[in-house]
Structure 1
Amino acid sequence: MALSLRHLLLLLPVLALVSLSTLFPSALSQSCSATNSLPFGNAISLYSNCLDLSTLGASLHYTYDPTNSTLSLSFVATPPSSSGWISWALNPNPDPAVAGMIGAQAVIAFKDGAGAVVTKTYNVSSYSSVTESPIAYETWDRTAEVAVGGIMRLSAKFKVGADAVAKGLNQVWQVGGSVVDGAPQMHELKDANKKAKGVLDVVSGTATSGGSGEGARTKRKNIHGILNAVSWGIMLPLGVIIARYLRTFPSADPAWFYLHVFCQFSAYVIGVAGWATGLKLGAESKGIVYYYHRNIGIVLFSVATLQIFALLLRPKKDHKYRFYWNIYHHSLGYAIVALGIVNVFKGINILQPDNKWKHGYIIAIAVLGGIAVLLELVTWAVVLRRKSGKATTKPYGHHNNGQARQPL
């Protein structure tokens, strides 16, 4: 049946909506990570796929050509500072759980000394030293640009191979805050940075986030931090407070001594467990060395071990060497407390947990410090009053021979 002009006019809006509905999926496929992608909208619209990556506010725009196994891509992210860098990489390791930054074949974009944005390739074999080098993948057409707001876009083409595509590509992405003499510096170690990896399926247009291996390592790092914070950072200072102040009161003898030994020995055992966990983490993280934290930990463990063995050589109170043993014991004790607290803060800076953990430890140390100051005042008041009382009750010309109890 023939349609009249009136019927055609009525059908036009319906036809227009149908046409628009066919266009919407294409438009939406270009709009992932709209905030990051907006400055480069014209360039990234040429790619057939768009993925929001799981961390660092990054996005990947790509086209895969199966005829020659070529991956054309634009990686978009914002570095932490205007002098920072961004990186996208492939890791050929067949195990996705361990295919992280070590072994990554990376392209990194940053501003050179003249202010021009450059791209360079890096075969990342160590966290401590990243130097420009050829990579295992053939790559070309590498470009980069920076938009208003510091957003950067890194573009390149990779020859990836059909077999690798079939298994899934292990991608790694990252952002860093500084470049020194043309060399990208270490990025932050926040949770988002550690999880910036996953498996990319270029055929289906999907990507998974980081594997379980990193999650297990993060758990061990947290255990290491908690054990050391409790032992060296809290229990040892508490044991020193018990020994220094409770012994002033005769009624606390010998309870203070057993409490002191219990605190210090328990702290040592827990600290050794934390130290062993740190050794395990170091063995699993080749190329990652936190020199100050490691060296302080070694000294701390060694001095604490000497302190424990010193208990076996503790002279009796009236022994002529007891005075020198006390100097040795007290000096090492205060040194252990100072080193322990410093290294706990070093570890917190490395782990970079939520601020509540750092603030919680600061509060704990502040409370112990406040208690120590209060007890110091009370102890000296008791000692001075005791001395004054003995001076008024003793016959003229007699001396106390230094027998009054005084703070350690």
Structure 2
Amino acid sequence: MAPSTPCLPALTLAISVLVSVISPSQSQTCSSQTFANNKLFAHCNDLPTLSSYLHWTYNPTNATLSVAFVAAPPKSDGWISWALNPTGTGMIGAQSLIAFKGSGGGMAVKAYNVSSYASIKESEVWFRVEEATAESSGGVMRLFATVVLPEKNKTTINHVWQVGSSVTGGVPDRHALQPANLNSKGTIDLLKGVSNTGSSGDSRLTKKNIHGILNAVSWGVLFPFGVIIARYLRTFKSADPAWFYLHIVCQLSAYVIGVAGWATGLKLGSQSKGVMYSGHRNIGIALFSLATVQMFALLLRPKKDHKYRFYWNIYHYGVGYSILVLGIINVFKGLDILSPAKKWKSAYIVVLVVLGVVALLLEVVTWTVVLRRRSSKSTKPYDGFDNGQGSQPPLPS
């Protein structure tokens, strides 16, 4: 078990940082949110996508629904939207309230009956809007509305939420088509205070998050950690041959986890016909192929004094550093696709910075050790024996 110990800190750090992405809906934060004038609501839910939150109070006597929808638009001049859909479960047919900054700089709320994806027009909606306001601060928009539902006895309804990055001429532009945007829908029980997403969409999102975590841990953290072990620990004679086995353990672990992540990606691809992330997919294929070739390096590794060892080193180092670079690039591409809360992307950047700082410090230490070792050999006193090399001291190995 000893060889795997140095890999555990990297693995533990990566999992603790990234595992929260699996189920952002379980991070109960709406209960800590407060509003101006001490406005309170009977229920609140952390919605499972787009880092959004919904607060509401329903009065069954007059079918009045008061809501507060909180979300961060992709850009400061973007928009947020919350809608009810009386006829379906998606965007088409949604009766939407959209909040954005108006031409004068203040917040505006307009109603839209979304009948197509091509364009939207301000119009009357299914419910009567008694009051609608919005505010923006700290990169977050808050939409407040009081509406009257036409059907008093219907307390379980479909709702949809969305965010967009821009507004043109007072009209919200089309939102992104990332998984988080496409899965921003569900049902809400107005009396029980429960908001649920459709099982298929939630299941697919969970699989995508698992796929992302597996690949981030393998190619994004464990593999770079294994490279650091091989590059720097080998300099210290006391670490030989332990560094070699530690390197193998980390890289094999990264490969096994990476294969599991690659397999979940294939499964997701087969379940998502018509959805293609070409760049992410192509890099993933290249990563798996290069990593598989790299695994054969363990079987093809010649001895140190073999005449082909020089060429093997070129192949091994070249493929290894290619995997290192491609792995990190693809982790960022995957984060862009998943669109989790911004803090998770920031957290991964922190992990990379930590690994980079460690590598930089070890680079300085190892070069110091190597230069001192060479200096010591070059100044070693002549012992009276030339061993066939004349009066010159032996060259450093």
TM-score range, shorter chain: 0.5 to 0.7
Q: Distance in 2 between matches of 1:289 and 1:157?
A: 41
Which of 209, 227, 237 is the equivalent residue of 2:195? 209
Which of 150, 165, 187 is the equivalent residue of 1:198? 187
Distance 1:320 1:200, change over 3 A: same
Structural mapping, 1:90-239, within 5 Å: 90=85, 99=89, 101=90, 104-108=92-96, 110=98, 117=110, 119-123=112-116, 130-132=117-119, 147=133, 149=135, 171-179=158-166, 183-186=173-176, 196-199=185-188, 208-211=194-197, 213=199, 215-239=202-226
- SS at 1:209 equivalent: strand
Give the aligned length: 331
Cα-to-partner distance string for 1:298-336 (whole Å, 9 max, x where unaligned): 332232222223444334433443222212211221222
Q: Distance in 2 between matches of 1:346 and 1:82?
A: 24
Q: Percent identity?
A: 42
8 A Cα contact 1:112 1:118, kept in partner: no
8 A Cα contact 1:108 1:122, kept in partner: no
Which of 323, 344, 352 is the equivalent residue of 2:331? 344
Structure 1: give runs of 5+ residues left out of the alignment.
1-32, 39-49, 66-70, 94-98, 124-129
Partner residue of 1:272? 259
Q: Distance in 2 between matches of 1:268 and 1:336?
A: 11
Partner residue of 1:382? 369
Q: For 1:197, give the aligned amino acid.
A: G
Distance 1:122 1:323, change over 3 A: farther
- SS at 2:244 equivalent: helix
Q: For 2:357, give the aligned amino acid.
A: G
**By how many angstroms is 1:274 displaced?**
1.9
Distance 1:282 1:376, change over 3 A: same
Distance 1:237 1:87, change over 3 A: same
Structural mapping, 1:297-316, within 5 Å: 297-316=284-303
- SS at 2:296 equivalent: helix
8 A Cα contact 1:36 1:77, kept in partner: no
8 A Cα contact 1:307 1:333, kept in partner: yes
Q: Distance in 1 between matches of 2:144 and 2:167?
A: 21
**By how many angstroms is 1:267 displaced?**
0.9
Partner residue of 1:263? 250
CA RMSD of superposed structures (Å): 5.0
Partner residue of 1:57? 54
**By how many angstroms is 1:178 displaced?**
2.5
Partner residue of 2:22? none
Q: Distance in 2 between matches of 1:148 and 1:114?
A: 11
Q: For 1:184, give the aligned amino acid.
A: R
**By how many angstroms is 1:174 displaced?**
0.8
Q: For 1:131, give the aligned amino acid.
A: A
**By how many angstroms is 1:207 displaced?**
6.4
